[in-house]
C-alpha cells in the first residue's frame, strides 16, 4: 500500500488560506479548532514565505507514543488516526507533536479539553466507514471514496501536495530541478552579458 504524505511548496504558497477553509468546511471541524493553518515568515519583508501546516502523519508518531490511553493507530496508508471514544483529553499528544496538530474543542477550568481533534488526511476514523457517526466525529472519509484530502485538491497554486509519498516527492523534485534550471539559465545569461563568454549548452566541453 502506498504511504501517504503532505508536502507544502514554499515557493508556491501564497497564503490564501484556501486549504484551511476547505478543510474546515469539508470536515465540519469543531468550533475553535483548525486542523490546518498557514504560517508566514518575514511577513512583508524580502524573503517572505508561507507554509501550510497540519498533521504530517509521522511514521514514528510522537503523539501515539505519549498517549496514555493508546488511542492512536496507523492505517495501511500510513495515516495516523485516533479514537475519540477512548481519548480522555489529557493534552499530552499536543505537547509531543512537532507540528501543533492535535487541538482541543474546549479550554476550561479543571483541564477540561474535550476530545482531541486533528487532521485525518480526510480518512475519517474508527467508526464504520461512511457512517454518520464517523462524519460527525472525524469529518469526511474521502480516502475511502478514492479521493485525496480536500485541502490539497483545493490548493490554487498546487503548493500543497498530498498523496503517495513517492509521487509527491517526484513532483517536488522535478520542480526543484526545473527551478535550478531556470536559475542556471539566467546565470548563463548573466555570464554572457557581463563576462563576455558564451557558455555552451550542447554538452561538449570545448567548442
Partner 1 sequence: MDALKWSSNKITSFNFNLSLLACLLITLFAIFSFSPAIAAEDKLGNSNNTVTQQLGVKSPATDLWRAVRQREFKGSAGLSSSSQVKSMGSTEFINIKGQEWRNFRMGQLVPYAAYLLGGVLLVLALFRLIRGKIKIKAGRSGKKILRFSPFQRFVHWSTAILFVILGVTGLLLTFGKSGLIPIIGGKAFGAMAGVGKVIHDYLGPVFGIMLLIMLFTFIKGNFGNWTDVKWFFKGGGMFGGHASAGRYNGGEKAWFWVAILAGAVVVVSGIVLDFPYFNQTRDDLQLSHLVHAIGSVGILAASFGHIFMGTVAMEGAYESMRTGYCDENWAKEHHDLWYDDLQAQGVVGAGASMSGSAVAGVGAVAAGAMLREPSSNASGSTDGSAHVSGGSSDIDKQGLMDTGVSSSKKTPVKTADKKSASSSSSQSKKTGSSSTSGESDNLKKIEGIGPKIEEILKGAGLSTFSQLSHSNPDDIKVILNDAGPRYKMHNPKTWPQQAELADKGAWDELSDLQDRLLGGRE
Closest CA to 6 of 177, 154, 176, 159: 159
Give the footprint of ligand HEM on this chain (CB under 6 A). Answer: 90, 111
Q: Which three cell numbers stand for residue 188?
A: 548563463
Q: Of all residues in this chain, which one has the CB nearest to ligand HEM in the complex?
A: 111
Out of 77, 89, 133, 135, name the contact with partner 1 by CB under 8 A. Answer: 89
DSSP string, 111-170: TB--S-B---TTB--SSPTT-HHHHHHH--BTTTTT---HHHHH-TTS-EEEEEHHHHHH
Give the footprint of ligand SF4 on this chain (CB under 6 A). Answer: 55-58, 61-63, 67, 69, 71, 80, 82, 87-93, 97, 99, 101-102, 116, 118
* Closest separation in Å from C-beta 113 to ligand HEM: 8
176 is a site residue for partner 1 (CB under 8 A) = yes
* Phi-psi sector, 169: left (phi>0), alpha (psi -120 to 50), beta: alpha
* Binding-site partner at residue 82 among ligand SF4, ligand HEM, partner 1, none, CB < 5 to 8 Å by type: ligand SF4
Q: How many residues interact with partner 1 (rule CB under 8 A)?
A: 73
Amino acid at each position: 500500500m502506498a504511504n501517504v504524505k503532505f508536502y507544502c511548496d514554499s515557493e508556491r504558497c501564497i497564503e490564501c488560506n484556501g486549504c484551511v477553509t476547505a478543510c474546515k468546511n469539508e470536515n465540519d471541524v469543531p468550533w475553535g479548532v483548525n486542523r490546518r493553518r498557514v504560517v508566514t515568515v518575514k511577513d512583508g519583508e524580502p524573503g517572505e514565505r508561507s507554509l501550510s501546516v497540519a498533521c504530517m502523519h509521522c511514521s514514528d508518531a510522537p503523539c501515539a507514543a505519549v498517549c496514555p490511553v493508546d488511542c492512536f493507530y496507523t492505517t495501511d496508508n500510513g495515516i495516523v488516526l485516533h479514537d475519540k471514544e477512548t481519548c480522555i483529553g489529557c493534552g499530552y499528544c499536543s505537547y509531543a507533536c512537532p507540528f501543533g496538530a492535535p487541538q482541543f474543542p474546549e479550554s476550561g477550568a479543571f483541564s477540561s479539553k474535550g476530545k482531541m481533534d486533528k487532521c485525518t488526511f480526510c480518512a475519517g476514523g474508527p467508526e464504520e466507514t461512511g457512517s454518520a457517526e464517523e462524519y460527525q466525529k472525524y469529518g469526511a472519509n474521502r480516502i475511502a471514496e478514492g479521493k485525496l484530502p480536500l485541502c490539497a485538491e483545493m490548493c490554487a497554486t498546487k503548493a500543497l501536495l498530498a498523496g503517495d509519498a513517492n509521487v509527491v516527492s517526484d513532483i517536488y523534485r522535478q520542480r526543484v530541478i526545473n527551478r535550478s534550471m531556470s536559475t542556471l539559465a539566467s546565470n548563463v545569461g548573466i555570464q554572457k552579458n557581463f563576462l563576455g563568454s558564451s557558455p555552451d549548452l550542447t554538452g561538449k566541453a570545448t567548442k
